[in-house]
Structure 1
Amino acid sequence: MLSFSRTIGLCILLFISQISVAQRAVNPTTDSLPSRDPAIAATPAGVDKNELKYSLNASGTHFIKATFLNQAWLRVNQSNPGSTVIQEPNTSTVDIGLRRTRMQLFGQLSDHVFIYFQFGLNNFNYLNGGFSPTATSNRKVQPFFHDAVGEYLVFKNRNLLNIGYGLTIVNGLSRFSGPSVATIMSMDVPVFAQATVDQTDEFARKLSLYARGQVGRLDYRIAMSDPFPIQTSGAALPSYSQNAQFALKGHRKQYQGFFMWQFFDREAHQTPGYNTGTYLGARKIVNLEAGFITQQQATATTVGGDTLYHPMNLWSVASFLDMPLNKTRGTAINAYLGYFSTNYGPNYLRFNGIMNPASGIAAGFPAGTQGNAFPMFGTGSVVYGQVGYLMKRNLFGSGRGTLMPYAQAQIATYDRITQPLGVYNLGVNYLINGHNAKFTLDYQNRPSYRADGNLFTPAGRRGQLTLQYQLFI
């Protein structure tokens, strides 16, 4: 196994070499920018067409579109204490995986009818999402429908009120609870904002009835969701204790809403629920945002042999900015700052590692803390911020793209951790052709933890370096 420092150096050299190769291989007339649709990265006037669209009428107002996305990761990770890989102790890992591979089909079938489907897989590495030394699994069964929803536009050619239901990512809480992953500025989204991901939803999607629209400068969405029981999550069932877990009994509806006040340009509003990460300077966006999710008797604890049920109440307030700085040079800035109140019930805490490269944890270490996991979800509060700077257009010469460096910080105070959690990311995008073809090099620094009775105490910090190659049309 290569040392961690040598592997970091290798990844950096690979990133530089990929920039050189891509500069020779790709030669668009200019950098692509996202369109009005937050789920796709289309092209401004004068640039080659880069979307798969079939018009259903002469004006093109009725249409069908298809998109394809692949985000491949090459990663080196310093493992948390006690991590094992296929039953062997391992202090670091190098893995290749598919963070997301997706296909979308959506369209405006008539003046009042819109459909949206998304199919694909997530977190596909050599473990394929899990490993058991005593059982086998099938690595070929992971792709699934993420979205399948129909929408009725009440007012022709106006987004005042759109009503839909089905399997959808229309969410409350925040813009990152329903992110357009093809257009995000950073390599990955702050997953804690997808608050019940794969617990009582399907990869942040829920069976919901919703209404959404734009009235003046107000963009709104409200939904009633039918959460999945935790028994269908595919994971081992939780055991009740003094620490809240999702309830094993009962079924209550979930209610949520998200609202944005848009001071300048209005954001894209075509596909249901998805929020653009960055418009790469194509729009002047300054928003104030707020959202919530609430569900009665969502979680449970046991006290003195009695089972107590607790509501889940989550809310956030945030500001979002994405705007050009110098239109002639093509520079732009992206910034977000949000506060999240996350009440899942007493002492709720969930460790999670994105596409975790470790398969297990040694005896004597807290369960679920292997690999790159950290306390991602918990009862308490979170402050999340990000900032990025889009450098001048054609930084490397005509048709050779530009760079967008960024920084992220997630600072959380949860009931069961003894000190505030801090997870920090620094990265840079090489935008070969806008969001349609880009490399992202990202370094994450996170805390590891040891058990201290019912609490968790920091036990040092670990690093992770990832090179992502995104292709999207």
Structure 2
Amino acid sequence: MNFTQKITLLGAHLLCGAWPLLAQTPKDSVATPPPSPKPAAKPVPELKFKFNSEGTLYAKLGFGSQLWTRVIENNPGTMVNGVPQATTYDVGIRRMRIFATMHLSTRYLLYIQMGTNNQSFISGGGTGTGTNGAGKKAPFFFHDVYNQFTIVPALNEQTQKANPFVLYSGIGLHSWNGVSRLSSASAWRLLTLDTPVFNFNTIEVSDQFSRQFGIFAHGEWNRFLFRFNANKPFATNLKPTVGGGAVDNNQGGKPSFAGYVDYQFLDKETRQNPFTTSSYLGKKKMLNVGAGFYTNQDGTMSQPTADQTRSHDIKIWAADLFMELPFGKKSNPMSFNLYSVLYNYNFGPNYLRTTAVMNAGVADPNFKGAIAKEGFGNAKYLLGTGKVWYTQAGLLLPKFSEKVRLQPYVTYAVKNLDALAQKGTFYDLGTNFLIDGHNAKISVQYSNRPLYSVENNRVFKRAGEVLTCVQLHF
């Protein structure tokens, strides 16, 4: 049975399993009177402890988990747990989080986020056998820890009217990133099953899961929203090869600087935390345009000749557009969602990175065929010096059931990277089954990636995977 046949069989099982949930009970149009309207579902309550009658002083907890199942078409020559495998099936924890926001004064707050990521049967934890065997006991760590102060409050204390200019500043391990809207995307309010990952430009090299230590400022001025930071990147010390591309090496310890500004043409957002929403599920009419940057002096290093190394500045800029337009009947509206961004990356000559989320595969030493330059398992080229254009679009369909709502979507990315001889195109096709908005949903997605030849840096075949994400968040 080939990969396509396996996917067809899997889809049939998913459809059969989901049909009882999606189907509605037929109504007797003659004998049964029309049902009385059901009361609107109450929103999921917050776990919030208020310390004043206005509710402006509080401590709030939140929780979230994203559990994945996958069917992966592995790159050629992949071995999993010592056995050659063309296809791998698994279940894993993509993300698990505990959030805490403590606003014990109108002038300052403390934000903490902790959790774990990317644990499957063989990845994310230990590498041995037994008590701490492969994939077991994944690390649990702090993602965000920052203190924030109010410089100019949203509400004028004398007039009790909204201030046109609002400013906050803080310090710590934070996600007030620059470059693009997607560079600080909330993983819990995505349109798609997951982020494309290249939106986090230094992910897991000079940052910690897209966070760096630093000082930040954010706020708004009329319809402009802005954020800027000065950070100390995590230390990197990769050694370049002679004649090879630049690699992450910031041993000089220079700070990084980043920022992002967007203008809101229609409805306004409130950003009480760093994380941006990718889909409001038709509750807002949005049209934002933005631009941002990231720079780090001497952030990478290359070795043109055997006795010479050269440091290079990281310089990144991006421009993007975000739109969400509700339409249709007011009693049962639809919503169209679009996000498009262009990244211009400069990490130094021929810089190139791969990624492989929860990768189970390694090289099969006995494989004799052509292998992919990206590596094995589900590895793919992530980003590098060059340009990446990414677009995602979704359509929130009208309600046809009281139990679930559908939101199909599509993504398309074009990566034109200097180290490769051919552009790479990546796409995803998926659907969100919204049980309770973003609080409870199931996302099913097919992803397709190009694979590059070791001999000529050109695409020689493509591979795919089917993913399902079950998300609970509140």
**What is the TM-score of this pair, normalised by structure 2?**
0.88
For residue 400 of structure 2, what is the amino acid of its counterpart? L
Helix, strand or coil at the partner of 2:457: strand
Which amino acid is 1:16 matched to? L
Per the TM alignment, residue 95 of structure 1 is displaced from its structure 2 partner at its CA by 0.8
- Confirm or deny: 8 A CA contact 1:111 1:157 kept in the other structure: no
CA contact (8 A) 2:166 2:220 kept: yes
Match of 1:319 among 318, 321, 332: 321
Asked if structure 2 preserves the Cα contact closer than 8 Å seen for 1:130 and 1:359, the reply is no
* Equivalence map 1:84-123=2 (5 Å): 84-123=79-118
What's the % identity of the aligned pairs? 31
Write the distance in 2 (CA, Å) between the matches of 1:382 and 1:30. Answer: 47
Q: Over aligned residues, Cα RMSD in angstroms? A: 2.5
Give the conservation status (yes or no) of the 8 Å contact 2:250–2:299: no
Match of 1:152 in 2: 149
Question: Does structure 1 residue 277 correspond to structure 2 residue 282?
Answer: no
Change (3 A) 1:80 1:30: farther
Alpha-carbon deviations, 1:340-393, whole Å to 9, x = none?
Answer: 10111100001111222324454784675111111111110011001000011x
In the aligned structure 2, how far is the partner of 1:114 from the partner of 1:14? 48
Aligned to 1:202: 208
Structure with the greater relative contact order (CA < 8 A, sep ≥ 6): 1 or 2?
A: 1
Which secondary structure does the structure 1 equivalent of 2:261 belong to? strand
Alpha-carbon distance between aligned partners in 2 of 1:264 and 1:86, rounded to the nearest angstrom: 53
Task: Kindly indicate whether residue 397 of structure 2 is the aligned counterpart of residue 395 of structure 1.
Answer: no
Question: In 1, are the aligned partners of 2:450 and 2:459 still within 8 Å (CA)?
Answer: yes
> Does the CA-based 8 Å contact 1:4-1:76 persist in structure 2?
no
What SS is found at the alignment partner of 1:160? strand
- Contact 2:372–2:451 (CA<8 Å) still a contact in 1? no
2:54 counterpart (54, 59, 67): 59
From 380, 384, 407, the equivalent of 1:374 is 380
> 1:137 offset after TM fit, Å?
6.6
Match of 2:407 in 1: 404
Give the alignment partner of residue 81 of structure 1, picking from 65, 71, 76: 76
Taking structure 1 as reference, are residues 5 and 367 closer, same or farther at Cα in structure 2, changes over 3 Å only?
closer
* Residue aligning to 2:253: 251
Q: Name the residue aligned to 1:348.
A: 351
> How far has the Cα of 1:64 moved from its partner?
1.7
Q: CA 1:355–1:439 in structure 2 vs 1: closer, same or farther (change >3 Å)? A: same
Shift of 1:238: 4.4
Q: Which residue of 2 aligns with 1:294?
A: 295
- Counterpart of 1:426 in structure 2 is 429
| Residue 140 of structure 1: aligned partner | 137
Residue in 1 that maps onto 2:339: 336
Per-residue CA deviations over 1:240-299 (Å, capped at 9, x if unaligned) read 44310011632110000011111011123111x211111111111100011110011000
* Cα distance, 1:20 vs structure 2: 4.2
User: How has the CA–CA distance of structure 1 residues 98 and 11 changed in structure 2, closer, same or farther, with 3 Å as cutoff?
Assistant: farther
How far off is 1:14 after superposition?
A: 4.3
In the alignment, what sits opposite 2:223?
A: 217
SS in 1 for 2:4: helix
Q: Deviations over 1:419-440 (max 9, x none)?
A: 1010100000110111111111
SS of residue paired to 1:154:
strand
From 186, 196, 205, the equivalent of 1:180 is 186
Give the aligned residue type for 1:152. F
Q: How many residues align?
A: 445
Using the size of structure 1 for normalisation, the TM-score is 0.88
Q: Secondary structure at the match of 1:333?
A: strand
Q: Cα gap change, 1:359/1:70 in structure 2, threshold over 3 Å: closer, same or farther?
A: farther
Classify the secondary structure of the residue corresponding to 1:193.
coil
Cα distance in 1 for partners of 2:216, 2:409 equals 34
* Structure 1: gaps (5+ residues): 32-44, 232-236
Indicate if the aligned counterparts of 1:98 and 1:122 stay in contact, CA closer than 8 A. Answer: yes
